[in-house]
Amino acid sequence: MNLVKTYGGWKNRQLIAFFERYARVVLTRYADKVKYWMTFNEINSALHFPVMSQGLVASNGGNEMQNRYQAWHNQFVAGAKAVAIAHQLRSDLQIGCMLLYATTYAYDANPENQLAALKENQAMNHFCGDVQVRGEYPLYTESLMNHYGFSFKDLDTKPEDFKVLAANPVDYIGFSYYMSTAVNVTDKRLATANGNLVGGVKNPFLEASDWGWQIDPAGLRIALNELANRYNKPVFVVENGLGAKDVPDANHFVQDDYRINYLRAHIEAIRGAIADGVPVMGYTPWGCIDLVSASTGQMSKRYGFIYVDLDDEGHGTMKRYKKASFDWYKQVIASNGEQL
């Protein structure tokens, strides 16, 4: 909060030095215990939600896209410096980036929608990864910025920034995956998928969650293939899960077969990607216990294997109860995904 109030969030270059110091302290302390790290959670989500990853709101310039790209640049440099620190400490430390990834389709074969899907992929799914994994800005950078009325030269950069980026790319790609999206610019009559975090239109081939997020296990297999083959580095699914309305019975038990089915289908998609040759490092679902949903601020949007007796108003005993998915996922872990 102090970084937001005093310094204006990540659009301020001073945060690079702050983060470098923070990373050095934490990495030095835990280098012997923790081998896998990630720098900024869902860094690309700032395209739509800059408050969550950049500390930018309307009052400190969050509505101006130039500030978001400036904040990204500062984060890219800070993250690269963290990579350098880690590799200096131990050769076996691995630092990854972390993306919010939504596999993006054109709604149909209309070339205008195909082009729009390409542009959406560049802006949302690829830009932050391209810089952090490749160590340089992609060719389409100026096009992205021109779309919002500014140029790359308008950003506050220093020559040494680009040397740091080039010398310290991340070791792997971590990402969250909850849904896919479909892009349409040709038919204004199509219904929008309001539940989707990144917008788009409803995909007629997919079912949706209680909150309108389109469920697409095949999209995860596509995402794994796209990322691994784009960057030729290992990939790690670090978030995947189903937010649902859980109704416990008289014994506080939730028979959440819908959650089991969702996770099973996505783990099977990962198995398919591995068969495709994708180097998948791991899979961690969101999440193990019910908590307030970041996307809606609701307790009633539940993801966990453990039910917490608490409602959206904060009323309840806060006691915890295993759902059906608890023992199911315990078996999945024990068998390394063989028993689904």
- CA 54 vs CA 25, 79, 90, 96: distances in Å: 21, 13, 29, 18
Six token digits for residue 293: 């949903």
Please say if 239 is a catalytic residue: yes
- Between CA 50 and CA 41 the distance in angstroms is 12
Hey, how many other C-beta atoms are within 10 angstroms of the C-beta on 285?
22
Burial class, 179, CB count within 10 angstroms (exposed 0-12 / middle 13-18 / buried 19+): buried
Six token digits for residue 187: 């038919």
DSSP state, residue 213: P
**Angular region, 232: left φ>0, alpha ψ -120 to 50, beta rest:** left
- Between CA 113 and CA 100 the distance in angstroms is 22
Question: Do 94 and 36 form a contact (C-beta atoms < 8 A)?
Answer: yes
**Alpha carbon of residue 330 to chain centroid:** 25
The catalytic position among 20, 42, 120, 239 is 239
Six token digits for residue 53: 């990853």
Question: Do 207 and 241 form a contact (C-beta atoms < 8 A)?
Answer: no
Active-site residue numbers? Answer: 239
